[in-house]
Chain A
Amino acid sequence: MKRTFVLIILIAVAQLGLSQEPAPRVVEITAKRFEFNPKQVTLKRGERVTIRLVSTDRAHGFLVKPLGLDLDADDGKPSEKTITPDTAGSFPAICDHYCGSGHANMKMTVIVE
């Protein structure tokens, strides 16, 4: 009886371990008029990563079409998406929520290596 109980516990623990993927790395990007911080982030091909956009002033966007990223954040309302990039390269990221006359310069680079 005791041996059966231990076996059940061991199987349950093993299944739990198998079903849990490691938590993705979180990359936080801060947006404010008219800049992102940091200016560049590096991701690894095949690595699950969560991109989190945080705004410290008003509504901003974060668009990297080739990576399927189209985030919107407002002051106090961050947003995030988890991706697994599969193509190496250097991808420009832009704010695509118009935020004022310096908006066109609000950009950064996402590198996948």
Chain B
Amino acid sequence: MKNEFDRRAFMRISAMSIGAGALLQFSPLAATARGNAMSRLFHKQNGEGPGAFSIVQLSDTHVGFQGPPDPLGTKAFERAVDVINALDPQPDLILFTGDLTHDSDDPAEHARRFKTFRSISDRLRVKKRMHVPGEHDAALDGGVLFRENFGETHYSFDHRGAHFVALDNVSMGKPIVGDEQIAWLKKDLARFPKTAPIVVFTHRPPFDLKPDWEWFTSDGDAVMNVLAPYDNVTVLYGHIHRENHHTTGHVQHHAARSLIFAFPDPSTAEKKPLPFNPQQPFRNLGIRTVSGNTAARPFVAGIDDVELSIRELSGTEGIQQMLKQGESL
């Protein structure tokens, strides 16, 4: 397929790099009567006919965050940009699932952090990039700075035969989507057949993963009720700074790792960031690939995870490799 990633090339790059988040691959709709009908529907509505597509998910870059447990600041994010830019062919879409920035009580400082995020992400060769806010981006100002930089906090679009929905479950301060947005979601999806491939991307898990750690969305059940009639729904989210896979009904949820530091498994007693290891500065940051075929029923995503290392760069691992000449922590 012309637009499909060379997965081996990606794995080769990622194996010697830090995590670039999640890579999704979908095949075009099969040439069945249902696939043709779907193709006509998407094409008629917005000119986006089905086709192979490949996307990368990045999450929780927390630009502006300094200090323990990760003293490296934006270095993981910058490295991820280099990794993605080295992909051949390039992905055609990048999704950012929130906490692009770390908040500040000073709005001017927070605005500078958004600017830094953009200066780094603008280095990506992939120009089609979509964002949803995390609570660190939008909870203190109701999403004002996010909108100034990226537009609305919830929206939808079609991309090569799949319908993408950006859901905001942070900007009201609480972990909530809200009645208004849920009504919008219902209306937005109503024009699609129940078999349409739908990708929802959001920040917090829209289900009770661990409410004591604020890993939930309080009206997530209402969101799931809207999604329930649709057969092929994938939810991509961030927030929890670790990989996680979960199923509610026939909806598949996948959390991406962060590009700042990792949280422990939710089965542990305490939500304490995993300690930074200078000998393995990007430990617990990794790459996940997700592949599937939207024509398959039921749709089942194939997941690949890569243990990350930068050893191949110089034969050793360590923080010194990430520092520029004369730079110290």
Could you tell me which A residues sit within 8 Å of B by CB distance? 59, 61, 63, 65, 70, 72, 92, 94, 96-98, 100-101, 104
Which of A65, A72, A92, A100 contacts B174 (CB under 8 A)? A72
Check: B212 CB closer than 8 A to any chain A CB. yes
Q: B91-129 interface mask toward A, CB cutoff 8 Å, 1 = contact, 0 = none? A: 000000000001111000000000000000000000000
Flag if A70 contacts B218 (CB, 8 Å).
yes
Contacts of A61 in B (CB 8 A): 174
Flag if B105 contacts A65 (CB, 8 Å).
no
Flag if B173 contacts A97 (CB, 8 Å).
yes
Contacts of A96 in B (CB 8 A): 174-175, 214, 218
Flag if A98 contacts B218 (CB, 8 Å).
no
Check: B140 CB closer than 8 A to any chain A CB. yes
Flag if B173 contacts A101 (CB, 8 Å).
no
Cβ-closest 6 pairs across A and B: A98-B139, A98-B135, A97-B173, A92-B212, A65-B211, A97-B174
Bound complex: CA A100 to CA B104 (Å): 8
Contacts of B170 in A (CB 8 A): 98
Bound complex: CA A87 to CA B199 (Å): 40
Closest Cβ of chain B: how far from A93's Cβ, in Å?
Answer: 9
Closest Cβ of chain A: how far from B155's Cβ, in Å?
Answer: 22
State whether A98 and B140 are in contact (beta carbons under 8 Å apart), knowing that A61-B174, A70-B218 are contacts in the complex. yes
The count of residues in chain B whose C-beta lies closer than 8 Å to any C-beta of chain A is 18
Flag if A94 contacts B214 (CB, 8 Å).
yes
Flag if A63 contacts B211 (CB, 8 Å).
yes
State whether A100 and B211 are in contact (beta carbons under 8 Å apart), knowing that A61-B174, A70-B218 are contacts in the complex. no
Q: B205-231 interface mask toward A, CB cutoff 8 Å, 1 = contact, 0 = none? A: 000100110100010000000000000
Check: B245 CB closer than 8 A to any chain A CB. no
- Measured CB to CB, the nearest residue on chain A to B273 is A104
Contacts of A94 in B (CB 8 A): 212, 214
Bound complex: CA A104 to CA B103 (Å): 13
Contacts of A101 in B (CB 8 A): 102-104, 136
Contacts of A63 in B (CB 8 A): 211
Bound complex: CA A101 to CA B140 (Å): 10
Contacts of B208 in A (CB 8 A): 65
Flag if B173 contacts A98 (CB, 8 Å).
yes
Bound complex: CA A70 to CA B176 (Å): 12
Task: State which residues 165-198 of B face A: CB under 8 Å.
Answer: 170, 173-175
Contacts of B311 in A (CB 8 A): none
Bound complex: CA A92 to CA B210 (Å): 12
